[in-house]
Amino acid sequence: MMTIDPAGRSDPERPTTYIHFSGFLAHIENGFNLFAAFSILALILLAVAQVLGRLLFNTPIPGFIDITEQAMAIFAFAGVAYCQRVGGHIRMEIVLGQLRGRTLYICEMLGVMLIAFTVALLIWGSLYHFDRSWAIGDSTMDIRLPTWPSKLVIPVALGLLFLRLLLQIYGYARLVANPARQPVAVPMIENVEDVAQHEIEEAFGDETDEEASR
């Protein structure tokens, strides 16, 4: 899938405020995604240090398992809103791929609304667990690492995802009202050729643009 955001294209009904807020939210999502990526890199380096320390000096890193367990919440949830924005989540499109126009947009909107409802429940549940961890001073078994920071990451990341879902509900709603409008900041189904072309452009962006301009 691909997220369409026709900034700069001619459209008299272009929702400027919606586009600006989507762009602002995208910057936050990018930051969270980078945070998740750096957490993975940090864990890899920590694992290398753990192996080398145990092998060469017989000195493992204290609390390695505790640190790994707490960091899992970061790379598992911090990038979820970014993935939703770019349409990277795995989903079945056997039926949706056969739909067109208003029918497709209605089904997409209903699906996003169902996801938003589920995410809202998850936010409530994760906030409860964060509050409980904060109140009782919960910590890990080995080095007594506080667990509330990792439990706070989950509702914050899901809250960001919830905002993205609300934007996409609006994006699909405007298409339901008028299917002739240009899709803005919503994932759209692509065929195999389009997906391959986008992957080529991402890998050889500058070279592809230069060849196309010749």
Side-chain-side CA neighbours of 125 within 13 Å: the count stands at: 6
- What local confidence, expressed as pLDDT, does residue 8 receive? 44
Nearest of 86, 98, 95 to residue 168 by alpha carbon: 86
Count of all residues that appear for the chain in the document: 214
d(CA 43, CA 175): 43
- What is the mean pLDDT for each group of 10 consecutive residues in the chain (214 residues)? 49 76 93 95 94 90 91 92 87 78 90 96 96 93 91 96 95 91 82 72 60 50
202 CA to centre of own chain: 19
Q: What's residue 87's pLDDT?
A: 83
Rounded-to-integer distance, Cα 116 and Cα 128, Å: 18
Separation between Cα atoms, residue 14 and residue 24, nearest integer Å:
17
Tokens of residue 16, six digits:
């400027």
Single-letter amino acid code for the residue at 175: L
Q: What is the separation, in whole angstroms, between the first and last Cα of the chain?
A: 29
Predicted pLDDT of residue 13: 62
The pTM is what?
Answer: 0.82
Q: Would you say 147 and 133 are in contact if contact means Cβ atoms under 8 Å apart?
A: yes
Distances 14 to 18, 27, 151, 177 between C-alpha atoms, Å: 9, 21, 39, 14
Q: What is the pLDDT of residue 207?
A: 53
Q: Which of the 8 DSSP states describes residue 184?
A: -
